[in-house]
Every structure is written in structure tokens, then in C-alpha cells.
Structure 1
């Protein structure tokens, strides 16, 4: 089981004036503790269930660039990018840039987006769900085309690109790590089977059934189910211990997942989050 730390809350005791130094120390500490993945949300307001919307939130790709500069080994990506926030070519270029500058450690996590309140507040277009899924599939196709070295046009129903040049190319070949987040059975998991290196599903009593659905989609498109990395997301809080997290992670592994991304709720001291995750990793091993 690989462990990732998903940074979902930047409202720390250090305060905004020391957030840069606190984040740098946090990610260095996570790497030193053996945590293999570091991710951030692609949101601009804090999410319900984690904190008030006014809590501190950093823009994802600027934050990933900062994190890349302060780490050496960890896989980095968003968990996950909302497809409505960036034009596909800009997204592909941003991920490529970070992949190159990080020595091949940055990938793409992407999903169909869901936070209508945030979008309305900040002026992002928020199309109906069917349109967002069309955007998602075409964005993935465009990213893969740009990463393949194919400089030809792209002519989709939503996006039309005249020349998909992408230089320099990503260091990770055949393309950067590609995760699709979400557990929708008809569309999301079908796209995972068709395009992705990994899925990410919030762990619940429905997780085993979701993986069965993914297996069915793999059979339908002729994809080897075992090629796809199955990753889960779980929260911790101030009452969590290494032992309680380890027990959950054992259940996650038994269900068929091979990586767990852990995010903290109500834990304003980043070092405490790393301690719980690293302790759980030691117990699971």
C-alpha cells in the first residue's frame, strides 16, 4: 500500500503570513516520513465538510509548482482538477511544464467538476452535467494527443484546436500519470477504463461494487483491469490515530486498492497529520 497526503486545508496555526514556509516544511516532512504522494485540491474556496468557504485555499497549479521545488521524490498532482476551470491546451501545458521542471514527478488528476456555488461566485461557466462530461472526455483526449507528440488538429464537439504542438514534451512517457477522480458508474468509470492510469474513489461500503463496475467497463473496451491503479481517499481528524487509520487502510487494501490518499479535517498543525499517516504506514507494513 502506498500512502499519499492530500492537502485539503491550508488554514494552519502558522497563519497566511507564514504559509509559504509552513507548506515547504510540511511537504519536506511528508517526504522524509516516507509518504510517496502529495496532492492538492483544485478549488478556490474551502469545501463544505472541511471548513467555512472563507478558509485559506491556494490555487492548485501554483501550489504544485511550489511543492515541486521543495520536494525530490514524491508523485505530485491535483486530486482532482475540475475540467471547467482551464482550457484543455493550457491544462496540458501546465502539467507538462511541471512534469519537466520536477524531473517527471507531476501528473494530472481530473474530473467533471461539481461545485456550482464556487463557480457562480467566481464567474466560471458551469454547464449541465452532460456537457461537463463531454468537456472531460475531450480534455483528456486533447491532453493525450498533446503528450503523444501529434501536432495535428483536434476537432471535437466542444473544443477545436488547430495545431497541438507541445514542446518540450513531458519527461514521463508515454505520458504523465493520469488519474480520473469520481465513482460515477456510467461515465466516470467508463472513462477510467478507456483512458486513465488510475481511478480515485472515496472509500465506503460501496467501493467494492464500484471496482466491479470498473472491471466490467474494462472488459467492454478490451482493457486489462490490472493495468489500472485503484486509489482511495479517506479523511482523518483530531481523534484519529495511527492505529485507527491503519485499520481503515487494511480494509481498503482488502477491497482491492493499492494506494490511499489521506486528508485532514480540523487539524491545524501539519506535523500532526504526517505523524498519523507515517504511523499508520508503519503498522500496515
Structure 2
């Protein structure tokens, strides 16, 4: 089981804060540092100093770290045209020495689109755009040097693209697809993803979602492996007082977190991680909501990560 740190900087974090968390995650032995791709806060928080751009952040972190993988959960297909996104991701991948993972989804938070003038089409159209973007991204990255790439879809058309720059690996960075959809999501994951992620679900619901994607993989006769992962909010403490303090810091109740996340003592969290492993999760994204609490990362590293 690999453990990755997952942050939500739209809730309030400067680049310096994200850098501190990323460097701590690397030093403590976590597998990756991921961040959300959002432009507006959610819930009753200040959100100050305001949003930071996901790929600008990861490009900077690519030069400030040396081992840890870097990625998004999830870049919204509504935010960027696929050609410029392919350039950005390939450049960050090169800057990091091939340490990038691209999590990409349809986009879902209408308020942030309205706030920054981004079109927010229907869910059906967003899925169409996501599929075309995936075809374009992989097509651009995998076009041999010296050749050009063309694409004509319903929403995007590319003509004589030089398909540059290239990412560090010829096949491009690993692609993550996530969500609970019963039909479109499993099919898209089976066709395009290297990893399928289930966010913030109970173990049984996670197992069911994994099962739908496994079925889609089998139906398509896919031979390359699929990584199955889950994301969970984490709140770890040595005793009930420390657990309660950390829960209060993120505006959550301990009992609710124990039910809906990885909450409790290190032993409790290890036990629940084992349950996710039993249903096929190979990687867990630990959502860290209080980015000022580096001691939290240290506790998880020493008492959970080191005992897996």
C-alpha cells in the first residue's frame, strides 16, 4: 500500500505553505504530493490568500523536490484547452524528471466557473469534452518526433500540431480517472486510465466501484494493468484529545470522521487501511485539510506509513 498526501489549497494556502507540506511529505517518505484543481473555496473557511493554479504550483515543486511524485486530483477538463494542457503537463513532467501523474475529470463545481468566467456546459457535454481531451493528450504525447498530430472531434480540432514538447516517458505521464459513475466512468477509465480512484467513500462502496471498473477492463480485453486507489480525509492522534483537537481544526466531528474517513489512533487508521487493501486498493490519498500542522504528517509517517 502506497500513501500519498493530498491537499485542498483552495481552502486557504499560499505557495509557501504548499512547498512546506510537499517537502515534508518527501522527507517523511510518502509516495506523492497531490493537490486539487479548484479556484473557489468550499464551506465556511476564509480561503485566504486565494486560489493558486495547480500546474504552476506543480511546476515550481518539480524544481524544489527530487523524489516524490506530483499530481492533481483532479484537473478539470473545463478549465483548459487540451493542447495547452498537454504542453503544461509535459513541461512539468520534464522539469520533475518524469514524476508527474495527471488526474483529470469533467469538472463539477459550477460556482468556480461562474466566478472566473469559465463556461460550464451540461454534464453530458463535459463527459464528451473529457473523452476528447484524453484522446488529444495521449495522441500529442505519443506522436513520434518529427511527425504531426491531427484530431477532429465534436468539441476540439487540431491540425498539423508539432505535438511538442514531449513528456519524460514516451507513453506520457500516468492518467488517473475517478468517480462513482456506473456506466461512463468505468468505460472511460478502462479505455484511457492507468489508475482509477474512488474519492471519500465507505469501504463497501469503494469495492463496488472497483468492481464496475474491473468488469469494464475485462470486457475490453485490456492487457495493461490498472491501479486501484481511494482518497480519504485523515485525522490521526495519539489519544482522544489529540484526535479531537485535529478534528476541530478542520471543522469536523470525531464520530463523523471515524465513520467517513481515516480517523483515530494510528492503530485504528492502520486497521481501516487494511480494509481498503482487502478490497483491492493499492494506493491511498490522505486528504490533509490543516496544512499548518506538519506534526500531523510526522505522526502519520512514523506510526502509520512505517508500519504498513
Could you tell me how far 1:268 is from its partner in structure 2? 4.6
* Matched residue, 1:197: 194
- Aligned pair 1:36/2:31, yes or no? yes
Partner Cα distance (1:39, 1:197) in 2 = 16
- Aligned pair 1:188/2:171, yes or no? no
The farther-off stretch of 162-171 and 247-256 is: 162-171
- The count of aligned residue pairs is 275
The CA deviation string for residues 123-159 of structure 1, in whole angstroms up to 9 with x for no partner, is 1100000000000000000001001115231011111
* Matched residue, 2:56: 62
Question: For the Cα contact (< 8 Å) 1:262–1:277, is it kept in 2?
Answer: no
TM-score (norm 1): 0.90
TM-score (norm 2): 0.84
Partner Cα distance (2:105, 2:37) in 1 = 10
The aligned runs of 1:236-251 (5 Å cut-off) are: 236-237=234-235, 238-239=246-247, 240=263, 241-251=265-275
- Aligned pair 1:256/2:280, yes or no? yes
The aligned runs of 1:114-129 (5 Å cut-off) are: 114-129=108-123
- Relative contact order: is structure 1 or structure 2 higher (C-alpha 8 Å, sep ≥ 6)? 1
With over 3 angstroms needed to count, the CA separation of the structure-2 counterparts of 1:276 and 1:191, relative to structure 1, is farther
* Matched residue, 2:205: 206
Match among 141, 145, 156 for residue 147 of structure 1: 141
SS at 2:198 equivalent: strand
Match among 115, 121, 130 for residue 136 of structure 1: 130
Once superposed, what is the RMSD of the aligned Cα atoms?
A: 1.9
* Matched residue, 1:161: 158
The farther-off stretch of 128-137 and 54-63 is: 54-63
* Matched residue, 2:253: none
Partner Cα distance (1:53, 1:89) in 2 = 34
Match among 82, 85, 89 for residue 76 of structure 2: 82
Match among 79, 85, 89 for residue 91 of structure 1: 85
Partner Cα distance (2:293, 2:62) in 1 = 18
Match among 10, 30, 45 for residue 40 of structure 2: 45
Match among 273, 276, 282 for residue 296 of structure 2: 273
SS at 1:153 equivalent: strand
Could you tell me how far 1:221 is from its partner in structure 2? 1.3
- Aligned pair 1:232/2:227, yes or no? no
Structure label with greater radius of gyration: 2
The CA deviation string for residues 150-192 of structure 1, in whole angstroms up to 9 with x for no partner, is 5231011111111232333111232111111212121112111
Could you tell me how far 1:249 is from its partner in structure 2? 1.2
Could you tell me how far 1:10 is from its partner in structure 2? 6.6
* Matched residue, 2:256: none
With over 3 angstroms needed to count, the CA separation of the structure-2 counterparts of 1:11 and 1:234, relative to structure 1, is same
Partner Cα distance (1:157, 1:187) in 2 = 18
Partner Cα distance (1:268, 1:37) in 2 = 16
Question: For the Cα contact (< 8 Å) 1:3–1:277, is it kept in 2?
Answer: no
